[in-house]
Amino acid sequence: MKIFYSSVHLKHAPAFEVFDGGVRVPNFEAPERAIRILNALQKTDWAEIVEPADFGLEPILAVHDKDYVDFLASAWTEWLAVTPEASAASDKSALLPATFALRQQAHRPSSLLGRAGYYMMDLSAPIVEGTYQAALTSANCALGAAKAVREGERSAFALCRPPGHHAGKANCGGYCYLNNAAIAANWLSAKGKVALLDIDYHAGNGTQDIFYDRADVFTISIHADPAFEYPYFAGYADEAGRGAGLGCHRNFPLSAVTDNAAYLSTLEEALELIRNFDPEYLVVSAGMDIYTDDPLGKIKATTEGIGEIGRRIAVLGLPSVVVMEGGYNNEALGENVIALLQAFI
């Protein structure tokens, strides 16, 4: 299996995030995550590590608003220009706003901090010096995997960092800046219908936002119920698409006591929807925070359960792009990714 990975992700290393309740904590989405996965893959006899090509901005701007991408590109240098103390301690500082837009009544501000509050959904997507470059490269990993599958590979894995599924058309949040899986799915959709299955612990609200009006990409998210879990405002069962996309999005909110059996039962419902849609390609947003000992999750999927999830998805027999999303138990992260991917070999 081709594994698209770049060490450029190391450039994105925020020292902190602001957690629930305003607590400043070390950033959970740390470079160690990708390193652990890479180390596990290098111990197999089937992983072919590939450096991604540069696909340029066109496939990114096909998904994200240009003004938002421009903000990501310039935010750090603007921040240094208006905040000299940030330059003196760049390894410990980050751009985060204190004021957030209520979008139903929002004007796009001209000031940097105003635009930060306009484009940033929360305090868990800090922007540091290497964020934009890492996000671009992460998107290129997903596009590289999509290109490999379109050219005949049965499956490919994009070892993306930072992840992407909380990034909407014009917002970052939840560690996500560019929506890697959505960029790959949109790129593939030029060649045929695409199903995008999100198995991350948290609802793929950004992916939902991007494809909500479209009928050519069927999006499904299986996740912890947003009634008690991030992102709180999206991911409910009654959100099913809009306009041309009505019926082409499904959310499957799960309770906090979901175990392997309950998860697999829900997965079968989702897979039946994909079969009925009859896509040419499948993109999987693969979050390993469904793991039973993940520090940011409550679902109780074991490593064996994750392997079975992979097996049931692979049985669809579709050309598949697997895109890395969340997963924050670093001790088990590599093993869990291997369990999932082995089903596609």
Which residue among the candidates 166, 202, 223, 249 is catalytic per the annotation? Answer: 166
Q: What was the pLDDT predicted at 98? A: 87
Task: Give residue-wise pLDDT tens across range 150-163.
Answer: 999 999 999 999 99
Euclidean distance between CA atoms 259 and 306, whole angstroms: 11
Q: What was the pLDDT predicted at 87? A: 66
Q: What separation in angstroms does the CA of 301 have from each of 139, 231, 304?
A: 28, 20, 8
Task: Give residue-wise pLDDT tens across range 117-131.
Answer: 999 999 999 999 999
Q: What was the pLDDT predicted at 83? A: 84
Domain 2-60+130-342: CATH superfamily, name plus number: Histone deacetylase domain (3.40.800.20)
pTM reported for the whole predicted model: 0.97
Residue with structure tokens 């896509």?
A: 279
Task: Give residue-wise pLDDT tens across range 285-316.
Answer: 999 999 999 999 999 999 999 999 999 999 99
Q: Which residues of the chain have pLDDT under 50?
A: none
CB atoms within 10 A of CB 118: 22
Euclidean distance between CA atoms 113 and 35, whole angstroms: 33
Query: Would residue 202 show up in a list of annotated catalytic residues for this protein?
Result: no
Residue 178 near residue 64, CB atoms below 8 Å = yes
In the numeric block, which tokens belong to residue 92?
């410990």
Euclidean distance between CA atoms 131 and 57, whole angstroms: 16
In the numeric block, which tokens belong to residue 337?
């990714």
Contacts of 20 (CB under 8 A, 6+ apart): none
